Structure formats: structure tokens, C-alpha cells
Amino acid sequence: MSENPFARRNKKEIAELVHVASGRNPADLCLDNARIVNVYSGEVIEGSVAVYGDRIAGVGPDYDARERVDLEGAYIAPGFIDAHFHLESSMVTVPEFTRAVLPLGTTSAVADPHEIANVFGYNGIRFMLESSKYNPMNVFFTMPSCVPATSMETSGAEMEAFDLYPFLREKWVVGLGEVMNYPGVLKGDPDTLDKIAIYSEKRLEGHAPGLSGKQLAGYISTGISSDHEATTIEEAREKLRLGMYVMIREGSAAKNLIDLLPLVTCENKSRFMLVTDDHNPVDIIRHGHMDGVVRKAIKNGLEPITAIQLATLNPAEYFGLRDLGAIAPGKLADLIVFNNFEDIKIHAVYKNGSLVARKGKPVYVDPPRPRPALRSSVNIKWLEGGEFEYPAGKGKCRVMKIIPEQIVTDTLLVEPKIEDGKIVSDVDNDILKVCVIERHTASGRIGKGLVQGFGIKTGAVASTVAHDSHNIIVVGVSDEDIARAVVRLNKIGGGISVIKNGKPLEELELPIAGLMSERPLLVVAEKIERITKAIKELGSSLDDPLMTLSFLALPVIPKLKLTDRGLVNVDTFDYVNLFEA
């Protein structure tokens, strides 16, 4: 990790900065002829930014400096901060993620490592912390509160309050991650409340889709102070009125920015943040990271300086990152230089006063760092061949209905297609088999369901990226292709596999927890593009079929989801049978 924003400065360092800031000593660097975005006053000021060491000394035209850079009228703003994201969704390690997004202006991010924690528990979190050391981008962490997310699925680890306590004093840990188990909060689940109590001195992040009224009040009364799950302006307004900070999410699977932006006003703008949550590598390459979210917010009517404030000052103040988020004396010199408010094309990025990226490319040298190791994570019971058969029953079947560009699903009741006393995929009506195979303990458990909206006409798609417990999820037309796709993932040690007529079309190895690759983000993105193209050639019309597939296994997002233990009605938090009768 780079310089710790929480580190205490000694008297000598403070005195030296005072001398430079007050004009008695020269600065190390002065960025001249800049249009300075002031997120405090909401204005653009023409002038210079003086830097001494890793900090901003002053803002003004008359500082002496050992080095001067003429920005020729370009804009300069604080580095972007992603206030809530899951790095695992980028499918690369921290160093590779940094090399991709630091040139796009993201100088800090707050990660919730609950994906890898659901596979490896304590060791997964420690892997992420160790991987972030000596990294030029600040990576802060909130500790995963729900491992597993619920008791209705099998994860690779279980983390109770006692397991999270050792991380409490880590300087890079800024809070408790999204508390998805809101039923547990409301029912007074002892372990959930223990986690909240232990981390009550730090930020408590929320995750309460659709919660309202007295239940929402009960949830917020614990001290949980933010939420990124609002999908309608009415839901966001209620949470705002009850004191929550609203994280406006614009990721790969869930896109809520356009719907929620009208709620942001001059009076309440300090209560909002822009976040990505889950961002796949293809989206990062195509549309950018936080720069893309800010750009889209401006394009859709948000005042430019306000948009930048929502991605800089607001998250810094929310998480108590007092040395970040603005251009002012004493702040760390995390700065981005860009062309205009329409394009937000990043020309240069300074981290702790040093140039780290120019014209979209990193210019820093990766320092030597130890490589943390993790064991293999794919362990499934030997498949005999008939595991993916569905015996026929009476009445209609419950079917998960995909809602494009959302991670929520609807529930349908449909007459299944029956052949030889068994349910088969109904391609004509786009109703396909979907299974979740437990992959942590080789228990042999397989949850079986049906899904509408995935769209493939042949073949199968399997992945070890299946939120949040990350068992194997597979959707397909024939039982043979479904089985082959699962077997292929077992052979490559985790990842994504696309099968047609028994043969692999495309695949991606993700050897780190079945979630991440050590290869560069661009390489992974190109692989994902080929996989997505293959899935679309099988018939799917979804923009991001992989992200959509991964969330079909998350039993904390309404309405109907599938785990290795069976179908879950998320509204009632109960298992339900495939057949209604």
C-alpha cells in the first residue's frame, strides 16, 4: 500500500510543510495554469497547486518550486474514490487492478472482500490485505459481515464475530461490510449483533434492498449508516430521510444511476456517493472505472463539480479519510488532470505527489512484493452422469425470471416441458435448467431450478463465480453439456466454461479462489469478451450474461434464487419446492 493516510506525522514533517505552505521554502512541484476543481466551495479556480513531499502545500499562483509543470488550462481535481466495490468482480489481483484503474483516476477504493472470504475465510481476507501492500493505489477494507451470506447455502468458510475481531485494529480497515442479513438484524441474531457492536466505532455499511417502514427503522437503529441497494427514487428517498447515506450504484449488473440522480439536490448532495459495487473487466476497459461513472452522471444532468464531489470528498468524509478527497493545504497530493467535464479524459494522475500515470498508461514501477499463496478451491464429488436429471412432479414449476440490467429476479409459475417423465429445458419458451453445485467440501449437494431470460438455445455455461458463496453455477440446455461444463471447471481449478455439443468453446481459468486471475486486466477482459460472444452465439441477448448468472445464486436479493441447498424465496427467507403443488 502507499503512504498510510492515517499515519501520524512527526513535528519535523509538519514544520517543513508549514514553511512551504507559508511561502518561506520552495515546493517540490508546482502544477501551473490549472483549473482547480474545489469540491468544498463548488467552484473552479484558476491557479497553481504546490506540492511538498506527498502533500499539497498550497493553492495559488506565487509558489516557488524546484519543478514546475504547465497544465495549459487543464482541469485538476482530487483523485477519485470508489466507496464500495468488490475487487474480486474485476477477476484480477490488487496489483493488476491498480495498473488498470489508477490511470483512469481512481487513487483510492474501499473494498469488501466477502467474495474471497466466502471461499477461504480469514486466509482470504489476509490474502487481500497482503496483496494490497506496497501498492500505489490506496485500498481500504470493510470486513465482510455475512460469511456465508445466509445459512441457506454452503460456503467455504464461516466467519463469526470472533473471527473478524483481529482485523478491527488494522489501519486499513475502515468498517464493517454490507450487512446483508437484515432478517438477522431484525430478529436479533446474536452473532450479527456482535459484529455490529464490535465494529460500531467504525462505519457500518448497509445492504437492505426493498426494506422500508418500521423494519427499515429497526435496521438503521443499529448504526448502519449507508446503503447501495436502492433501485427506485422512492426507496432511496426513504433511506435518505431516515439518515442513511445513499451510495448510487453504477456497476456491470446493477445500474441505478439514471433512476436515482433526480434525488440529488444542492441541499442534500453531501449524503450521496457514487460507487461501482461489482465491475467486470470488460466494462472497465470499455467505459472506465470511477471516471466512467462520473462522466455518466454529468451526461445525465448532474452538475459536474457535484458529480466529482460524490466521488471524492463525500466518500473521504464518510469513511474518515481526512487526508483525502479534496485539493487543500495538508491533504495528500492525490490529483487527477483531465481535459473537460464532458469527456473526463484523464491526462495524468499524481499519487502522493508523484506522477504515476500519463495518457492512460501507468508510469510507475511495481515494487518487489511477496506473493501470498492460497490452496486449490474447487472440490466436487465425482459425477456419475445422472445428477442433473429433474424428475417430473405435479402442477406448475417456480421459475426465476431474469430482469435485464438488475440483480433482482421475479418469480413465474410455468408448466414445465416433460419428456420421459423428466423435466427438460424448454428452449422455445426460454426456460432452461440451472443448477448450483457445492464446490467447497465435495458434499455432492446440487440445487436444481429453472430460469427464464438467459436465452441460450444450445450448450451450457458454468462458472465458479456465483455470489456469494461461489459454488459452481451452471445453466444449460442438455444434461450432457451441463455435466461437461461442470467437469471442465473442476479440471482447470475454477473459472468459466462454455460448452456446446460436449466440446469447449471458450474458457477462463481463475485459479485464485475460483474468482481471480494473476494475468493483466486487459488480457482477462479480452477472454471475457470472447466468452460473452460465445454465449451470445448460443442465443443469449443479455448484455452481461456472466454477471447475471453469478447473481442467480445470491439468496439475499429478491425474489427467487437458487443455492446448493435448493430454491429460496428471498421475501420469506424460506426454501421452496421447484413444483408449486
Q: Are 534 and 567 a contacting pair, CB within 8 Å? A: no
What average pLDDT does range 511-520 have in this prediction? 95
Distance of alpha carbon 490 from alpha carbon 366, whole angstroms: 33
Confidence grade of residue 353 (pLDDT, cut at 50, 70, 90):
very high
Confidence grade of residue 375 (pLDDT, cut at 50, 70, 90):
confident
What average pLDDT does range 450-455 have in this prediction? 97
Confidence grade of residue 571 (pLDDT, cut at 50, 70, 90):
confident
Task: Name the nearest CA neighbour of 296 among 341, 264, 350, 236.
Answer: 341
* Residues above pLDDT 70, as percent of the chain: 98
Q: Are 549 and 561 a contacting pair, CB within 8 Å? A: no
What average pLDDT does range 470-483 have in this prediction? 97
Residue 395 DSSP SS3:
coil
pLDDT for 558 equals 87
- The answer on pLDDT for 287 being more than 70 is yes
Radius of gyration of the chain (CA): 24
pLDDT for 376 equals 86
pLDDT for 3 equals 46
Least confident residue range of 239-248, 367-376, 502-511: 367-376
The β-bridge relationship of strands 566-569 and 574-576 is antiparallel
* Residues above pLDDT 90, as percent of the chain: 86
Confidence grade of residue 180 (pLDDT, cut at 50, 70, 90):
confident
- The answer on pLDDT for 398 being more than 50 is yes
- 196-232 per-position pLDDT tens digit: 999 999 999 999 988 999 999 999 999 999 999 999 9
- The answer on pLDDT for 113 being more than 60 is yes
Distant-in-sequence, close-in-space partners of 332: CB < 8 Å, separation ≥ 6: 3, 5, 54, 55, 56, 323, 324, 352, 353
Q: Which residue type occupies 173?
A: V
Rounding to the nearest 10 degrees, give the CA dihedral for residues 269, 271, 275, 277. Answer: -150
pLDDT for 4 equals 52
Neighbours of 157 (CB within 10 A): 20
pLDDT for 441 equals 94
- The answer on pLDDT for 438 being more than 50 is yes
pLDDT for 405 equals 73
Distance of alpha carbon 364 from alpha carbon 362, whole angstroms: 6
pLDDT for 1 equals 43
* pTM of the predicted model as reported, rounded to 2 decimal places: 0.92
Q: Which residue type occupies 464?
A: T
The distance in angstroms from the start CA to the end CA of the chain is: 56
- 534-546 per-position pLDDT tens digit: 999 999 999 889 9
Task: Name the nearest CA neighbour of 553 among 132, 120, 149.
Answer: 149
pLDDT for 7 equals 60
Distance of alpha carbon 394 from alpha carbon 581, whole angstroms: 6
pLDDT for 248 equals 98
DSSP 8-state class, residue 530: H
Domains and CATH numbers, the chain: 77-362 (3.20.20.140), 390-576 (no CATH)
Residue 519 DSSP SS3:
coil
Q: Is 470 left (phi over 0), alpha (psi -120 to 50) or beta?
A: left
- The answer on pLDDT for 246 being more than 60 is yes
Distance of alpha carbon 156 from alpha carbon 77, whole angstroms: 42
CA distances from 42 to 151, 266, 269 (A): 47, 10, 11
- The answer on pLDDT for 264 being more than 90 is yes
Residue 410 DSSP SS3:
strand
Confidence grade of residue 9 (pLDDT, cut at 50, 70, 90):
confident
pLDDT for 5 equals 55
